[in-house]
A and B are shown apart, each in its own frame.
Chain A
Amino acid sequence: MENSLLLTYLILTPFIGSFLILFFKKGQEHLIRYTALAISTIAFIISVVIYFQFDSANSGFQFIDKFQWIKGLNIHYHVGIDGMSLLLVLLTTFLTPLTLLSSWTSIENKVKEFTFFFLMLEVGMLGVFISLDLFLFYVFWEAMLIPMYFIIGIWGGKERIYAAVKFFIYTMFGSLLMLVAMIWLAVYAIEPLGYFTTNLIELYNVAPQIPRDIQNWMFIAFAFSFAIKVPIFPLHTWLPDAHVQAPTAGSVILAGVLLKMGTYGLLRFNLPLFPEVAVAAAPYISILAIIGIIYGALVAMVQTDVKKLVAYSSVSHLGFVVLGIFAMTQESVQGAIIQMVNHGLSTGALFLLVGIIYERTHTREISDYGGIAKLVPVFAFALMFASLSSVGLPGLNGFIGEFLILVGSFKSPVLGSWWFTAFAASGVIFAAVYLLWMYQRVVYGEVTNPKLNGLKDMNNREMLVLLPIFIFIVWIGIYPNTFLKVSDKSTVKVVKQMYNPEKIKPVQMGLIQSSK
């Protein structure tokens, strides 16, 4: 694949755009909003162009752009995507304009600053998904923390400072470990390569030959950092606070994209860099993932704050993704990738809906609601739709991801037992419990809270935000092949690396699969 500047254009769009926003004056809020929407829409259009030019038959990196950045250390600005990153890039550029649009009435003070941070956030997220240089990746990874910190800390709820600091320190702690591991890895690579490099593609070839005990430590350092981000149980406690305190737009991006950076990192770094360690660690990480699925669902079930409920549901859903990644079969990894997108859509939609109703009532307590189906039928429908997507109803997107993950992990030779999946699959029951119970208490029954009278249904702008998300929820549910085929080859490549047929025997449950 020849080099291309498209990715650079893509990331420059919100970057330049965010500085453009700074030139506006106070009182031009409307202009700022429209400009930001336009900028983020341009970024989305560029990513769609990339999608159409993307060659899904190619498993390698495409749209590569590379030039020297820090000469002495041989560090490059080096970007490129494969099928896995393309889907996440699309998710990011798709959600950003919608989220900006959703914040038009909820963010009313310091609009300029908010918009600036938001576009910067997009730069950081896109950078993470397209970087092919360890150092560049790290820069984006950390840079993205800053705008998010301010978004939570300035526009958040009552305990926003606590949440913002907790979010920042938690994540920072992980990133520092990752930085150490990155430097260590690059230093180790000097011997076989003959020079110092942070080029990920070169390191892919070298890393698996590093002595195993050192690989173990590197794997742990990377995994720890990503596990905090995902979050994998028991490193998840920053998440409910951050989600609940963040403004709606922040929660949407946090759940929709930021969490995926963790799972993406596992897939991009941990698996291909340290395949042996990953295989050995798979059962343990899978157990944590499964605890997360069940624990997250059970804790979500008993929440009294609807936003916190959605937040804990993320812990449960991301557990599925991690399980899919570490089951290391083609089905499960494909499922994990599509589930990352799905979670972004359905949980994003849920957060948007919670935000829409919160704007009107200023309460998130489930018990303050009840019977709103009659007052706001469109909202009730939208909440049902998003919940069903999240529950994993076949025909909608969530099912595709969960099904592929589970069907793949069930037969995973790496996990070696179908008990993992049997436990994980119980998550489908609990998901129905917590979402339908929430739905019942919020929407069904009779109106008992007099404050709810006169509640206004969704307006056109709000519908415009949700409609595209709903279209993709159905699209992925009915014809996921559009997206599955994009990541198919990249997945095959990763999975193949993991299977060293001499070391892992694909025998399961004593089954003999031969025909007579």
Chain B
Amino acid sequence: MRDLIYLTVILPLLGFLINGIFGSKIKNEKLIGIIGSSVVGISFLIALGAFFETLALPVEQRQKIVSLFSWMAVGNLNVSFAFQVDQLSLVMALVVTGVGFIIHVYSIGYMHGDRGYWRFFSYMNLFIFAMMNLILADNFVLLFLGWEGVGLCSYLLIGFWYDRKFEKSTVADASKKAFIVNRIGDFGFLLGMFLIYMTFGSLNFNEVFSRALSFNVPTYVFGFIAIFLFIGATGKSAQIPLFVWLPDAMAGPTPVSALIHAATMVTAGVYMVARTSIIYASAPQIMMVIAIVGALTAFFAATVGIVQNDIKKVLAYSTVSQLGYMFLAMGVGAFSAGIFHVMTHAFFKALLFLAAGSVIHSMQEEQDIQKFGGLKKYMPRTHITFLIAALAISGIPPLSGFFSKDEILWFSFANGGLFFWIMGAGTAMITAFYMFRLYILTFDGKERFGKDKHPHESPSIITIPLIVLAVLSVIGGFIGIPEVFSGEHGNQFHNWLAPIFKDADRKLAYFSMHSHTTEILLMVLSVVFAVSAIWFARYIYLKNPTIATDTAKRFKGLYNLLWNKYFVDEAYDAVIVNPIVRTSSSFLWKIADNKIIDGVVNGSAKLIDIISANIRKLQNGVAQFYALVMVLGIVAAFFWIILSL
């Protein structure tokens, strides 16, 4: 099956082409949905087969490259459409195709009746195609193809309802913003690639990584490479300062938010850092930068989540925050913990979004949680699955989120220090609080919706995917039980990925001098935090709702700051976007181009015109005048000759 891994790329492409070309003529919605879902489903089975085949092999044979054909060959540069099957790419492939398949099936029901049904499925397939390229690529350039490809799909799917309004602007604005902000990141990524090529003379992973160990390259060059690539990651994975596009990405259909803007695409940056771990391990200062950016993003995004009222917006900020966690993990060298969180987060965050979609559907497109309430009796399945996901993200044992989050917290303490642990644990607490605020305002308490709404449970095509994801959110963590409980080398997930990160780990050479007691103590502490935050949320939003409004009134400044997301969008517009547009229009175009440059051009033409017009007067056709000039000329010449003698 490993040799067939290219099918996991080609099948979704085929699905995209079939639905994209013939979709508008296929009148049967089901058929479109089945084509779209099955190509992803089959890809998942192939990835699963490849996984078991790899699992059966001894560790040193677990890496394999499946090459299709040469893409670009110029000079030293030789990159191919070649896919790398190894422990890391298989984990990602399983998550992407697995969660992807579930979300495709869900979409068959969710998108029912939409005018662009075929368009939706073809874009979704294109996304899976691009994402599989990204994670299976054996070189930077192919990774970049996937990297930009997922950006394109994100753009197309955010803008899926391109004629609608979204918040203060339009859906089209939101999609354009996503693409452009991502491009800013890609600019950094490109520079990173160029520097890699200049330094190592190759862009293939295996060559670059082995040369990174053997070449004598100064640390600052690694630092530049690392920071350039990281700029790319901040764009794709919505980190400070490029996170601004992700909350707006909620303008797209909910399954898109689940698949692209929560479970898979946005984790691409984390994957990329993990893949290039050896480069980051060679630039420890940049790892520190990543840890700080991750921690700050996690914290600030979580604080914004407290006050938002749009169910998807809360989840969006929660995604930004969780991605911050993953980068915190990367920054402190806990690569496999970060990837572990990528996986568990894919389960419970996809579930949260899909359940939110189920709610939005049954509430006739209403997204304001202040207008929900008491939905648990109308939508039992959606309710229970949402609750499971909320518990998982809050880090309540033994759900999946607990294991991955706790591993990150532990490493941020052990490798990073107390500051990182406090940021992480604080974020965890806030997360538990706002998730349960969200849960209670939606499913619990009084019904606050009008008589025109008739909430009802969604059909099975929607609820079954929820249940599957709920099961994964519950059990997903058991493959990564921390060593403090499972004994030395007892963490299966860690063991599986260890060969990928061994060079980086060796280079970083962290060794734990902390006792198991500390680890258990911190773990208990973080669980206590989470439970008390949940209790606090229940206390406020279920029992004493006035506290929330009173607090908002009392701390009006802070509330406004959070409600307006720290005014980051406004600041970017005022400081960067508007000045560039204004200068380009009123100076570069209307003055520099039209007045100055063209002024010189037309001016010199005019000058010649004027000169000629005046010289022409000499040719007045009067013979006497000519004779006079001739005589004067002769006299002048005569004098000149005499004077120069």
Residues of chain A contacted by B145 (CB below 8 angstroms): 394-395, 399
Q: Are A440 and B186 in contact (CB under 8 A)?
A: no
Residues of chain B contacted by A481 (CB below 8 angstroms): 70-73
CB of B541 within 8 A of chain A?
no
Q: Are A388 and B152 in contact (CB under 8 A)?
A: yes
Q: Are B163 and A371 in contact (CB under 8 A)?
A: yes
Interface residues of A in 492-516 (CB under 8 A from B): 508-516
Residues of chain B contacted by A421 (CB below 8 angstroms): 191, 194
CB of B580 within 8 A of chain A?
yes
Identify A425's interface contact among B24, B149, B191, B201, CB under 8 A.
B191
Q: Are B197 and A410 in contact (CB under 8 A)?
A: yes
CB of A6 within 8 A of chain B?
no
Q: Which of A302, A374, A406 has the most CB of B within 10 A?
A: A302
Proximity bits, B59-86, A CB within 8 Å = 1, else 0: 0000000000111111101000000000
Residues of chain A contacted by B581 (CB below 8 angstroms): 301-302
Q: Are B601 and A406 in contact (CB under 8 A)?
A: no
CB of B183 within 8 A of chain A?
yes
Proximity bits, B216-244, A CB within 8 Å = 1, else 0: 11100100000000000000000000000
CB of B610 within 8 A of chain A?
no
Q: Are B163 and A444 in contact (CB under 8 A)?
A: yes
Q: Are A440 and B193 in contact (CB under 8 A)?
A: no
CB of B263 within 8 A of chain A?
no
Q: Are A429 and B601 in contact (CB under 8 A)?
A: no
Residues of chain A contacted by B77 (CB below 8 angstroms): 331, 404, 407
A-B contact count (CB 8 A): 160
CB of A357 within 8 A of chain B?
no
Q: Are B162 and A445 in contact (CB under 8 A)?
A: yes
Q: How far is the CB of A497 from chain B (nearest CB, A)?
A: 16
CB of B593 within 8 A of chain A?
yes
Identify A445's interface contact among B144, B163, B218, B580, CB under 8 A.
B163
Q: Are A406 and B190 in contact (CB under 8 A)?
A: yes
Interface residues of B in 137-178 (CB under 8 A from A): 141, 144-145, 147-149, 152, 155, 159, 162-163, 170-173, 176
Q: How far is the CA of A301 from the CA of B588 in the complex (A)?
A: 11
Given contacts A445-B170, A480-B72, whether A516 and B214 have CB atoms under 8 Å apart is yes
Q: How far is the CA of A437 from the CA of B583 in the complex (A)?
A: 17
Q: How far is the CB of B130 from chain A (nearest CB, A)?
A: 9
Q: Are B588 and A425 in contact (CB under 8 A)?
A: no
Q: Are A510 and B218 in contact (CB under 8 A)?
A: yes
Q: How far is the CA of A444 from the CA of B164 in the complex (A)?
A: 9
CB of A42 within 8 A of chain B?
no
Q: How far is the CB of B369 from chain A (nearest CB, A)?
A: 29
Q: Are B218 and A511 in contact (CB under 8 A)?
A: yes
Residues of chain B contacted by A410 (CB below 8 angstroms): 191, 194-195, 197-198
CB of B10 within 8 A of chain A?
no
CB of B605 within 8 A of chain A?
yes
Residues of chain B contacted by A509 (CB below 8 angstroms): 198, 221
Proximity bits, A396-414, B CB within 8 Å = 1, else 0: 0001100110111011000
Q: Are B180 and A429 in contact (CB under 8 A)?
A: yes
Residues of chain A contacted by B152 (CB below 8 angstroms): 388, 393
Q: Are A237 and B598 in contact (CB under 8 A)?
A: yes
Q: How far is the CB of B388 from chain A (nearest CB, A)?
A: 38
Q: Are A299 and B588 in contact (CB under 8 A)?
A: yes
Q: Are B216 and A514 in contact (CB under 8 A)?
A: yes
Q: Are B593 and A301 in contact (CB under 8 A)?
A: no
CB of B597 within 8 A of chain A?
yes
Residues of chain A contacted by B197 (CB below 8 angstroms): 407, 410-411
Q: How far is the CB of A395 from chain B (nearest CB, A)?
A: 6
CB of A446 within 8 A of chain B?
yes
Q: How far is the CA of A238 from the CA of B601 in the complex (A)?
A: 9
CB of A334 within 8 A of chain B?
yes
Q: Are A403 and B187 in contact (CB under 8 A)?
A: no
Interface residues of B in 586-609 (CB under 8 A from A): 588-589, 592-593, 597-598, 601, 605
Residues of chain B contacted by A393 (CB below 8 angstroms): 148-149, 152
Interface size on B, residues (CB 8 A): 60
CB of A436 within 8 A of chain B?
yes
Q: How far is the CA of A397 from the CA of B129 in the complex (A)?
A: 19
Interface residues of A in 258-303 (CB under 8 A from B): 295, 298-299, 301-303
CB of B179 within 8 A of chain A?
yes
Proximity bits, A315-339, B CB within 8 Å = 1, else 0: 0000000000000011100110000
Residues of chain B contacted by A508 (CB below 8 angstroms): 198
CB of A458 within 8 A of chain B?
no
Q: How far is the CA of A429 from the CA of B72 in the complex (A)?
A: 23
Q: Which of A388, A404, A445, A478 has the most CB of B within 10 A?
A: A445
CB of A169 within 8 A of chain B?
yes
Q: Are A426 and B72 in contact (CB under 8 A)?
A: no
Q: How far is the CA of A451 from the CA of B589 in the complex (A)?
A: 30
Residues of chain B contacted by A422 (CB below 8 angstroms): 191
Smallest CB-CB separation from B197: which chain A residue?
A: A407
Q: Are B190 and A512 in contact (CB under 8 A)?
A: no
Q: How far is the CA of A62 from the CA of B152 in the complex (A)?
A: 43
Residues of chain A contacted by B216 (CB below 8 angstroms): 512, 514-516
CB of B585 within 8 A of chain A?
yes
Q: How far is the CB of A347 from chain B (nearest CB, A)?
A: 19
Q: Are B180 and A440 in contact (CB under 8 A)?
A: no
Q: How far is the CB of A77 from chain B (nearest CB, A)?
A: 34
CB of A479 within 8 A of chain B?
yes
CB of B415 within 8 A of chain A?
no
Q: How far is the CB of A279 from chain B (nearest CB, A)?
A: 19
Q: Are A445 and B193 in contact (CB under 8 A)?
A: no
CB of A107 within 8 A of chain B?
no
CB of A418 within 8 A of chain B?
yes
Identify B198's interface contact among A169, A238, A418, A426, CB under 8 A.
A418
Q: How far is the CB of B496 from chain A (nearest CB, A)?
A: 31
Q: Are B585 and A302 in contact (CB under 8 A)?
A: yes
Identify B75's interface contact among A166, A331, A400, A406, CB under 8 A.
A331
Q: How far is the CB of A302 from chain B (nearest CB, A)?
A: 4
Q: How far is the CA of A289 from the CA of B451 in the complex (A)?
A: 65
Identify A407's interface contact among B184, B194, B214, B585, CB under 8 A.
B194
Residues of chain A contacted by B24 (CB below 8 angstroms): 377
CB of B584 within 8 A of chain A?
yes
Q: How far is the CB of B157 from chain A (nearest CB, A)?
A: 14
Given contacts A481-B70, A510-B218, whether A432 and B593 have CB atoms under 8 Å apart is no
CB of B491 within 8 A of chain A?
no
Identify A237's interface contact among B170, B190, B195, B597, CB under 8 A.
B597
CB of B535 within 8 A of chain A?
no
Q: Are A237 and B74 in contact (CB under 8 A)?
A: no
Residues of chain A contacted by B163 (CB below 8 angstroms): 371, 373-374, 444-446
CB of A210 within 8 A of chain B?
no
Q: Are A237 and B180 in contact (CB under 8 A)?
A: no
CB of B52 within 8 A of chain A?
no
CB of B362 within 8 A of chain A?
no
CB of B199 within 8 A of chain A?
yes
CB of B539 within 8 A of chain A?
no
Residues of chain A contacted by B147 (CB below 8 angstroms): 394
Q: How far is the CA of A46 from the CA of B601 in the complex (A)?
A: 42
Q: How far is the CA of A378 from the CA of B61 in the complex (A)?
A: 49
Q: How far is the CA of A484 from the CA of B155 in the complex (A)?
A: 31
Residues of chain B contacted by A298 (CB below 8 angstroms): 580, 583-584, 588
CB of B215 within 8 A of chain A?
yes
- 19 A–B pairs (Cβ distance < 8 Å), ordered by A: A298-B583, A299-B584, A299-B589, A302-B581, A374-B163, A377-B24, A400-B72, A406-B190, A408-B75, A411-B197, A425-B187, A425-B191, A428-B186, A433-B180, A436-B179, A440-B173, A444-B171, A481-B73, A509-B198
| 6 cross-chain pairs, A with B, having the tightest CB-CB distances, nearest first | A410-B194, A302-B585, A444-B172, A394-B145, A411-B198, A298-B584
Report which A residues bind B (CB closer than 8 A). Answer: 166, 169-170, 234, 236-238, 240, 295, 298-299, 301-303, 329-331, 334-335, 371, 373-374, 377, 388, 393-395, 399-400, 403-404, 406-408, 410-411, 418, 421-422, 425-426, 428-429, 432-433, 436-437, 440, 443-446, 478-481, 484-485, 488, 508-516
Since A410-B194, A410-B198 are in contact, a sample of 4 more A-B pairs with Cβ atoms closer than 8 Å, ordered by chain A residue number, is A295-B588, A406-B194, A436-B179, A512-B218
